[in-house]
Structure 1
Amino acid sequence: MTATIETHLFAAPSGGVPNNPHLPLLVYRGVLDEAERSAAALRRLAGARGWHGFWQGGVYPFHHFHADAHEALGVIAGRARVQFGGQGGAKVELAAGDAVLVPAGVGHCALWGSPDFACVGFYPPGAEPDLARGEAPPGDALARVAAVPLPATDPLFGEDGPLVRLWRARVSPA
């Protein structure tokens, strides 16, 4: 399994979404091969690394975020355009085989999806995700986002995956 990684850092709040000043959104391009593009396959792969809370569907069509958990999305079918980072954020095209690691606090909203678009979402060990709409000032959300621990493993690549390397480099002192 290989992937091309795109990073997007949303350091400032946008439209009621706190975002995350320390951790970049990670987009893994073409990481899931044909055999891995199912809910069962992703459950086995990420579940073996302790990730949990699996669900299958689409991305909500309104700006929302999780202040208490990071979230992983694996695209198993179709295409979609998702805006990350709130109303002023990046519009990212996703296709079957892509995966996204969304840091706690980073807003996401489906702008468009093909009729067959489907993704699987899941969360790091110990995480209990909340759901907050990006409609009002986030209040204590930034403090809650800052308190979310880094996952010990990348859900797709394990202990030395891009999530671990790139996120740990952003928060570890030099």
Structure 2
Amino acid sequence: MEDLIQNSQGKLTNLLQQIEKGQFKKAREWGGADVIITTTPLQPSQSEQNFYPDPATSNIIVITRHAQCLSWLFCQLGSILGWSYDSLTKYAFFSSLAIAALRYQYEHLHLDVKESLTNQEQEILSKILANPEEIAAYQSQPVIISHFGVQIPALMAGDGTQPQGILLAVVHEAEKWLTQINQATEY
């Protein structure tokens, strides 16, 4: 197990360096484990036939102009750390990554945009961002957020012009996941 963790840490370090140099790719917009990454707000009626996950039932929807780069990153992280989660804990893993992306967006919003968010959006964000450990606890149960399918397009204003910032924030969250796994195996 120790070799697997060290190997994964090395791959995450390489991925961070690659992103810092602007060497990342694009992939088709990603959806799975109750997370959707997209460039535009979705409506259930807009979803393709047999498209999974459906926006109406997904817990976290990340709307970002960097959706293709972020989708590529989710695929990379799934490949690197796929050994560390199972069919239940994948919800916690991918939700924690999505929450890291939302947190990055929110932290980089201008004050006037933050003030324009509705009360419902503010309430949802405070639940998601204030205590991510409670929401995306690294446990063997799916992550449940009380407002399914809520989308906050205004967060896209916090993306920045280059995708490196949001990508790095998500990789750092993956490093936290790996640290949790490492600590759990030490006992």
> After TM superposition, is the score higher than 0.5?
no
Select the structure that is richer in strand: 1
The TM-score normalised by the length of structure 1 is 0.26
Select the structure that is richer in helix: 2
The TM-score normalised by the length of structure 2 is 0.25
